[in-house]
Each structure stands twice: as C-alpha cells, then as structure tokens.
Amino acid sequence: MTLSFRGAGTSAAGAGAGADEAPAACLHVVSWNVAGWKTTVEHIRRFKGGLPTFLERHCADILCLQEVKLTAKAITEDRRTLGVETPGYESFWACNEGSGAQRQGLNGVATFARQGLVVRADAAPLQHPELDREGRCLLTDHGSFVLFNVYVPNSSGGSRLPFKLRWLRALRAAMRRERAAGKAVILAGDLNLKHRPEDSHWSARPVQVARLAELSQEPSLPAEDRRLLAAAWEAWPGICDALRAREVRPFETRGQRKGQVFQRWGVFAKASNGEDVRLGQPMETEDHARGSFMVDGVGVEDDGSVVLGRASREAAHVLQPAGELCAGDLAECLRRLAGLEVGPGPLRRLAAAAGRAAAPPAVSEWLRAVLQEDGMVDSFAELHPAAEERFTCWDQYRNRRHENIGSRIDYILVDRPLFAARARRGAPLDARGPAAPESAAAALAAATLGGLSQPSPFAGGGMPALEEDEYLAQFRGLASTGVLYTPPQLSDHVAATLLLEGRQPAAPGGPARDAATQRCQPHRSAKRITDFFSRRPSSESGGDLAPPAKRTALGA
C-alpha cells in the first residue's frame, strides 16, 4: 500500500527526526480504546463499506483495540457482526474470562493486522496467571519487532495501585525478554497514566501549593496576577484547616438527563462564613471520595488499603504527596471555602510553573525508567514537542470534549533504534481550520471534528445520533504519527497513531499455529457445522443495519 500525504512538507534532516516525506511503502499503526467494541463496530457497520472501508480509509495496517469488553464465546459466536474475520486482516484477542478479581468480559484487547504481518501471538506474555487473566496485554510478533497492545490497570482511588505497579513491572520484564531475543519493541495502548504535565489539562495538574508564595513575587507576571496569588497564599492556612476537618458522606443526586436518583459520595467542608459546602463532583465510591481534597497526602499499602493524612508518608506507595492539590481543585477551594475568586490566568500560570504529571510518583518513575533506562521513545511527544492540548480521552458525561478538557493517556512507545530508523511524522496534526496545527485552538477544532460533533443535551436523550457527515469527517486519507480523531459516539477516546517507513510481509504463510497463538484466535478453533452453509450477511459491507442502541455519554 502506497500512501499519499496531501499537504506534507519537508522535514528536518535526520532519520526518525520527523520526516514528513511520503515513503514508498509504510506501516501505519493505530491504537484506540473503544470502550466496548460491540457498540463501536455496530456504529461503523451502519455506514457504507462497514469495517473494511473504515480500516482502509484510516490506512490502518495494524489496529490495536483496548477495552473491547468481549469473551472468547462472544468472539466466536458473533464473529461476523464483530468483524473478527474482516477480509484482508487477521484478528487476535486477549479476554477476561472472569477467573480473577474482575468479572467476566471486562477489559480485553484485540489486534487486527493485515494478513501476513503476524508471525505469532500471545495473550499471556506477562507469564503470571494473576496478571494475565484480566485480558489486558496481547503480544504480536511482526518479524523484526514485537508489539505489546495493552490496557493498563487504573489506579483511580488508590486501591488498585499495588496491582498496577506489579502489572507494570511484569510488562517491563516481558519487553526486556523480547529484546534479549533480538526483537525491537513497540508498546501501544491505553497506559492509564500521563507522561508530562502538559498531557493533562492545566486544571487537572497536581501543584505544590507552596509555590503560590514564590510566584506572587515573580516580577514577570502582571501585577494583578501577583496580587491574586498572594491573596491565595494568605488564604491557604484556613483552607487547610477546613479540609482537615472535612467529612465524607453519602448523598442523593438526580441525573440531569433522565432524572434518575443515584446515591453518591461527596466531600463536605465548612467555608469561612460557616456554610457547609460540597467540593468536587459526586463520586461513586467512598474510597474515591476519602482520597479527594487531601492536603496532608494519600498513601496506599501493599494490600490496597488507603492511608490518609500524615501517616500516608510512611505508606508503601504514595498516591498524592502532601501539600498538593490539582489546580482546578485549588481554584474551587479558594472560591467556595475562602470566598476568593481567582481567575484561570494566575492558576494556569501556577500549573505551568509548578504542575507535575498527573500520575502517582511510582507510576511516573516506571515510565521514566522505560524511557531513559530501556531506551523507548514517546512517539507523539518526540515528533510534536510544541503541540498544545492534544488529548486522547475526555469525560463525555460532562461534555468535556467540547471544551477540550481532557488528558493524553493513549500512547505508542517505540524502542529508539527502531524509531530513529523508521519513524516518520507523516501528515500534519489535524487542525480543521486556519489555526496553527500545534495550537490549542487547532486541538479543540480537531476534537470536535470542526464543530460537527455537538454536546449531549442536558435535558435528556443521550448523545446525539451519529450522522453521516460527522462519521465521514474522521477520515483524512492520511497516515501519520499523531492523533486520529474519531466521532465521540464511537468512544470517549480517540486513537494514537504511528507511521513507520517500510512494510513487508513477516509471515507470508500466516501466523504460527502454536498453542499460544491459537488461544488468541478462538474463532478459528471453534468452527461450527452451520458455518459451511450460512450465507455471509449483506451487512458486512455496511449501510443496511438498523441503528444500534444509543450509547450514552458515559460510553458502552
């Protein structure tokens, strides 16, 4: 396949330094958390050409999916509607069959690859039953390199942080084993972490609040900003007292769209005027609420128990260091507890100057080691270092995509020698208008597909139906290392992409039929007699399906 790069320019010299020129042949890797493949592919199949055309128009040679939420039984029985046997591609799957801490069908990853590109596959590459059984990691061997398709555990709330760290250590060991066997490594997927401070919206970046005092004396800032920062620092001791005396308790909330009543947990504190106020959004679990708005730190023991306050400093793992709040939480505390209105300008400057990556320190240390000690490259950050607010995930329930308040948690990391030899920038970042591609304005325009994607109405009805013009707007016909913006009805994530120069079949005769590879293809090992007589549905090409059930803004 030869790809054209309309509008591509000439790069700086140096292999892997971001060459924009179109190679004669290339390999385009797309990594996408679909938040439920059944719903996503139903949407895709509604439109002309269905999944085969979707893959071709995105120039996808390898498509890595995360959070497919399917069992091996579903893959086998519904393989046609799920696109499991899409012409020209082979698919490989890792599923959660419910033998671990999580229920059957959660998580799950899948890799679709053009025929001839996969030598072997393994759905248990971590070599540890507890860590492999959740269906979070799938290895495919492509000859000169292996690709790890991952859905890293979430540590929100803290209780799963020890499991996440064990899982990440096992992943790093698995990648090292492949390198020792002579393979270069690509790591693609939803890593559930942020690499850099700018990979989160400024309001979500943890900041050391003590920096308020320092910045209030910064002569380069406007005088009004310095005054507000000084007032915030003066109010901080009273805020700390209020947060230390806060209460976590349940309350009822009514859904704005459908009017349902839910029990949620909240953080309540006394404002300076004596009023009892709730801070932050309603939270689904008590543990999550207990760890929020903590000024004395949050720690996690090896058994998953969360430790709050000063004792957290002696816990096995630090979830949040003492003296920190997210910039947005700090703004809320200043407004609601101290009656001080500090606009986004001063706090955005605080986040830029003092914010850190929004990940637990131990997770950030793991990523640092993978990049610096193991020699991997964050492909997007390397080729687009000046890009602003290029996020891959948003809270769609609160329509955050339409404000571009999100985070970049979907990555493609590449071993540096492979990156230097073959990685290319390809097409420019999606801009959807006159704004410079690296600008925040261009990122917002791309996130909303040039304004075609509309927010969900709060009066009810869920997310707006996916119309043809919005669906077609995702296709640029261009391959790149960057971000691929799909419509919000397909997922609350968009895809990360990688363009590599050079593509040749690694396994002309198809993948090996060893036991590990066969387990990744349950649809091939469970043929039914009726398969030999049933006709392939005409809906394979798309366009003749009844519309799928509406996906809410929360996802599948």
SS3 445: helix
Cα 399-403-404 angle, rounded to 5 deg:
100
96 is in an annotated binding site: no
Cα 156-158-162 angle, rounded to 5 deg:
115
154 is in an annotated binding site: no
Residue 450 burial class via C-beta count within 10 angstroms: exposed 0-12, middle 13-18, buried 19 and up: middle
33 is in an annotated binding site: yes
67 is in an annotated binding site: yes
Cα–Cα distance, 289 to 247 (Å, whole number): 10
Q: How far is CA 134 from the centre of its chain?
A: 18
Residues 411 and 461 sit within 8 Å (Cβ to Cβ): no
Residues 154 and 191 sit within 8 Å (Cβ to Cβ): no
Cα 122-100-515 angle, rounded to 5 deg:
25
Q: Which amino acid is at 308?
A: L
Secondary structure, 3-state, 180-234: HCCCEEEEEEECCCCCCHHHECHHHCEEECCHHHHHCCCCCCCHHHHHHHHHHHH
What are the residues whose beta carbons fall under 8 Å from the beta carbon of 237, sequence distance 6 or more?
none
Annotated binding site: 33, 67, 190, 192
Annotated binding site for Mg(2+): 33, 67, 190, 192
